[in-house]
Amino acid sequence: MIKHCFKFLAYLIAAMTVSVAAAGSYDDLFIAVIRDDPRSLKKLFAQGMDPNTRDEKGTPALMVAIRRESTQAFDALLAQPAIDPDAANAADETALMLTAIAGDMEASEKLLARGAKVQRPGWSPIHYAASGPSTALTKLLLDRGASVDAEAPNGTTPLMLAARHAPEATVELLLQRGADPKRRNQRGMQAIDFAEGGGREFMVERLKKLPH
Protein backbone atom coordinates (compact mmCIF):
# COMPACT_ATOMS: atom_id res chain seq x y z
CA MET A 1 0.00 0.00 0.00
CA ILE A 2 2.81 2.40 0.96
CA LYS A 3 4.63 1.51 -2.28
CA HIS A 4 1.52 2.41 -4.31
CA CYS A 5 1.20 5.69 -2.46
CA PHE A 6 4.80 6.61 -3.25
CA LYS A 7 4.28 5.64 -6.88
CA PHE A 8 1.15 7.82 -7.11
CA LEU A 9 3.02 10.70 -5.47
CA ALA A 10 5.86 10.33 -8.00
CA TYR A 11 3.38 10.47 -10.91
CA LEU A 12 1.68 13.52 -9.37
CA ILE A 13 4.97 15.39 -8.97
CA ALA A 14 5.97 14.52 -12.54
CA ALA A 15 2.64 15.76 -13.89
CA MET A 16 2.90 19.00 -11.93
CA THR A 17 6.45 19.54 -13.21
CA VAL A 18 5.33 19.11 -16.83
CA SER A 19 2.36 21.41 -16.25
CA VAL A 20 4.53 24.15 -14.74
CA ALA A 21 7.08 23.80 -17.57
CA ALA A 22 4.32 24.08 -20.17
CA ALA A 23 2.92 27.18 -18.47
CA GLY A 24 6.39 28.68 -18.39
CA SER A 25 6.92 28.00 -22.07
CA TYR A 26 3.53 29.55 -22.86
CA ASP A 27 4.42 32.73 -20.99
CA ASP A 28 7.90 32.77 -22.52
CA LEU A 29 6.43 32.57 -26.02
CA PHE A 30 4.31 35.68 -25.70
CA ILE A 31 6.98 37.57 -23.79
CA ALA A 32 9.36 36.86 -26.68
CA VAL A 33 6.75 37.98 -29.23
CA ILE A 34 6.02 41.22 -27.37
CA ARG A 35 9.74 41.91 -26.91
CA ASP A 36 10.35 41.09 -30.58
CA ASP A 37 12.92 38.49 -29.57
CA PRO A 38 13.43 35.96 -32.40
CA ARG A 39 16.33 34.21 -30.65
CA SER A 40 14.15 33.18 -27.70
CA LEU A 41 11.38 32.13 -30.06
CA LYS A 42 13.70 29.83 -31.99
CA LYS A 43 14.80 28.18 -28.73
CA LEU A 44 11.18 27.59 -27.77
CA PHE A 45 10.38 26.11 -31.17
CA ALA A 46 13.40 23.83 -30.90
CA GLN A 47 11.94 22.60 -27.62
CA GLY A 48 8.66 21.73 -29.37
CA MET A 49 6.58 24.85 -28.75
CA ASP A 50 3.67 25.17 -31.19
CA PRO A 51 4.00 28.40 -33.24
CA ASN A 52 0.19 28.48 -33.54
CA THR A 53 -0.26 28.84 -29.78
CA ARG A 54 -2.97 31.35 -28.82
CA ASP A 55 -2.97 33.84 -25.99
CA GLU A 56 -5.65 33.98 -23.30
CA LYS A 57 -7.92 35.94 -25.67
CA GLY A 58 -7.65 33.32 -28.40
CA THR A 59 -5.27 35.34 -30.59
CA PRO A 60 -2.60 33.33 -32.45
CA ALA A 61 0.97 34.34 -31.69
CA LEU A 62 1.43 35.45 -35.32
CA MET A 63 -1.36 38.00 -34.96
CA VAL A 64 0.01 39.18 -31.61
CA ALA A 65 3.29 39.90 -33.41
CA ILE A 66 1.42 41.92 -36.04
CA ARG A 67 -0.51 43.97 -33.50
CA ARG A 68 2.66 44.63 -31.48
CA GLU A 69 4.62 45.50 -34.64
CA SER A 70 7.16 42.84 -33.65
CA THR A 71 8.57 42.35 -37.13
CA GLN A 72 11.39 39.98 -36.19
CA ALA A 73 9.06 37.80 -34.15
CA PHE A 74 6.62 37.82 -37.08
CA ASP A 75 9.36 36.55 -39.40
CA ALA A 76 10.46 33.89 -36.90
CA LEU A 77 6.91 32.61 -36.50
CA LEU A 78 6.21 32.66 -40.22
CA ALA A 79 9.39 30.67 -40.89
CA GLN A 80 8.11 27.73 -38.85
CA PRO A 81 6.96 24.83 -41.08
CA ALA A 82 3.96 24.20 -38.82
CA ILE A 83 2.68 27.79 -38.91
CA ASP A 84 -0.93 28.26 -40.03
CA PRO A 85 -1.08 31.67 -41.76
CA ASP A 86 -4.89 31.49 -41.81
CA ALA A 87 -5.43 30.78 -38.11
CA ALA A 88 -8.21 33.15 -37.00
CA ASN A 89 -8.65 35.07 -33.77
CA ALA A 90 -11.82 35.21 -31.65
CA ALA A 91 -13.29 37.79 -34.06
CA ASP A 92 -12.67 35.40 -37.00
CA GLU A 93 -9.96 37.65 -38.42
CA THR A 94 -6.82 36.30 -40.05
CA ALA A 95 -3.29 37.69 -40.07
CA LEU A 96 -3.71 38.85 -43.67
CA MET A 97 -6.80 40.82 -42.70
CA LEU A 98 -4.78 42.69 -40.08
CA THR A 99 -1.90 43.50 -42.41
CA ALA A 100 -4.36 44.46 -45.15
CA ILE A 101 -6.22 47.06 -43.11
CA ALA A 102 -2.90 48.45 -41.87
CA GLY A 103 -1.66 48.78 -45.46
CA ASP A 104 1.41 46.68 -44.63
CA MET A 105 2.50 45.50 -48.06
CA GLU A 106 5.68 43.72 -46.94
CA ALA A 107 3.98 41.63 -44.25
CA SER A 108 1.05 40.87 -46.57
CA GLU A 109 3.36 39.60 -49.30
CA LYS A 110 5.13 37.37 -46.77
CA LEU A 111 1.82 35.92 -45.64
CA LEU A 112 0.74 35.28 -49.22
CA ALA A 113 4.06 33.57 -49.90
CA ARG A 114 3.29 31.22 -47.00
CA GLY A 115 -0.10 30.38 -48.50
CA ALA A 116 -2.46 32.79 -46.75
CA LYS A 117 -5.87 32.82 -48.44
CA VAL A 118 -7.03 35.99 -50.17
CA GLN A 119 -10.64 34.79 -50.22
CA ARG A 120 -12.66 33.24 -47.42
CA PRO A 121 -16.34 32.98 -46.49
CA GLY A 122 -17.74 36.08 -44.80
CA TRP A 123 -15.38 38.95 -44.11
CA SER A 124 -12.30 38.62 -46.28
CA PRO A 125 -8.89 40.31 -46.55
CA ILE A 126 -10.15 42.36 -49.52
CA HIS A 127 -12.76 44.02 -47.28
CA TYR A 128 -10.02 45.01 -44.86
CA ALA A 129 -7.70 46.23 -47.60
CA ALA A 130 -10.48 48.32 -49.11
CA SER A 131 -10.99 49.95 -45.69
CA GLY A 132 -7.30 50.76 -45.34
CA PRO A 133 -4.85 53.34 -46.64
CA SER A 134 -3.12 51.32 -49.37
CA THR A 135 -4.49 51.16 -52.90
CA ALA A 136 -1.48 49.04 -53.85
CA LEU A 137 -2.44 46.42 -51.29
CA THR A 138 -6.00 46.29 -52.59
CA LYS A 139 -4.57 45.78 -56.07
CA LEU A 140 -2.27 43.02 -54.82
CA LEU A 141 -5.19 41.05 -53.39
CA LEU A 142 -7.28 41.54 -56.52
CA ASP A 143 -4.35 40.38 -58.64
CA ARG A 144 -4.08 37.28 -56.43
CA GLY A 145 -7.72 36.36 -57.03
CA ALA A 146 -9.80 38.24 -54.45
CA SER A 147 -13.35 38.90 -55.61
CA VAL A 148 -13.97 42.56 -56.39
CA ASP A 149 -17.58 42.24 -55.22
CA ALA A 150 -16.92 39.92 -52.27
CA GLU A 151 -19.89 40.06 -49.91
CA ALA A 152 -19.51 40.21 -46.14
CA PRO A 153 -22.15 38.40 -44.05
CA ASN A 154 -24.27 41.56 -44.13
CA GLY A 155 -23.81 42.01 -47.88
CA THR A 156 -21.26 44.82 -47.63
CA THR A 157 -18.75 44.91 -50.49
CA PRO A 158 -15.19 46.28 -50.74
CA LEU A 159 -16.45 49.24 -52.82
CA MET A 160 -18.87 50.27 -50.08
CA LEU A 161 -16.08 50.27 -47.50
CA ALA A 162 -13.67 52.06 -49.80
CA ALA A 163 -16.24 54.75 -50.53
CA ARG A 164 -16.34 55.58 -46.84
CA HIS A 165 -12.77 54.99 -45.71
CA ALA A 166 -10.18 54.57 -48.47
CA PRO A 167 -8.26 56.88 -50.79
CA GLU A 168 -10.10 57.88 -53.96
CA ALA A 169 -7.57 55.82 -55.94
CA THR A 170 -8.83 52.66 -54.24
CA VAL A 171 -12.41 53.42 -55.29
CA GLU A 172 -11.25 54.06 -58.85
CA LEU A 173 -9.32 50.80 -58.86
CA LEU A 174 -12.33 48.80 -57.68
CA LEU A 175 -14.55 50.44 -60.29
CA GLN A 176 -11.99 49.72 -63.01
CA ARG A 177 -11.94 46.08 -61.93
CA GLY A 178 -15.71 45.85 -62.34
CA ALA A 179 -17.08 46.56 -58.85
CA ASP A 180 -20.84 47.11 -58.98
CA PRO A 181 -21.80 50.47 -57.39
CA LYS A 182 -25.50 49.53 -57.52
CA ARG A 183 -25.20 46.60 -55.12
CA ARG A 184 -26.98 46.97 -51.80
CA ASN A 185 -26.16 45.38 -48.46
CA GLN A 186 -28.76 43.96 -46.10
CA ARG A 187 -29.58 47.45 -44.86
CA GLY A 188 -30.32 48.55 -48.41
CA MET A 189 -27.21 50.73 -48.57
CA GLN A 190 -25.09 51.31 -51.68
CA ALA A 191 -21.55 52.62 -51.98
CA ILE A 192 -22.87 56.17 -52.36
CA ASP A 193 -24.68 55.85 -49.04
CA PHE A 194 -21.45 54.77 -47.37
CA ALA A 195 -19.68 57.82 -48.83
CA GLU A 196 -22.44 60.10 -47.62
CA GLY A 197 -22.41 58.54 -44.15
CA GLY A 198 -18.68 59.22 -43.95
CA GLY A 199 -19.17 62.88 -44.91
CA ARG A 200 -17.19 62.42 -48.12
CA GLU A 201 -19.03 64.76 -50.46
CA PHE A 202 -16.37 64.51 -53.15
CA MET A 203 -16.94 60.75 -53.23
CA VAL A 204 -20.71 61.19 -53.33
CA GLU A 205 -20.33 63.43 -56.39
CA ARG A 206 -17.99 60.94 -58.04
CA LEU A 207 -20.39 58.05 -57.56
CA LYS A 208 -23.37 60.13 -58.77
CA LYS A 209 -21.65 60.40 -62.13
CA LEU A 210 -21.68 56.65 -62.67
CA PRO A 211 -24.31 55.13 -64.99
CA HIS A 212 -27.47 54.07 -63.16
Closest CA to 61 of 47, 45, 102: 45
Listed as ranges, residues in the chain with pLDDT below 50 are: 1-10, 12-23
CATH number of 1-84: 1.25.40.20
Backbone angles phi, psi at 161, to 5 degrees: -65, -40
Predicted pLDDT of residue 25: 78
1-84 shares its CATH topology with 88-212:
yes
Closest CA to 79 of 48, 44, 116, 42: 42
**Domain made up of 88-212: CATH architecture:** Alpha Horseshoe (1.25)
Predicted pLDDT of residue 187: 96
Predicted pLDDT of residue 102: 96
- DSSP string over 125-147: HHHHHHHSS-HHHHHHHHHTT--
Burial class of residue 29, CB neighbours in 10 A (0-12, 13-18, 19+)? buried
Predicted pLDDT of residue 19: 40
- Per domain, the residue ranges of the chain are 1-84, 88-212
How do residues 123-151 score in pLDDT, each as one tens digit? 999 999 999 999 999 999 999 999 999 99
**Bridge partners of 60?**
54
Predicted pLDDT of residue 165: 96
How do residues 103-129 score in pLDDT, each as one tens digit? 999 999 999 999 999 999 999 999 999
Predicted pLDDT of residue 49: 92
Predicted pLDDT of residue 27: 87
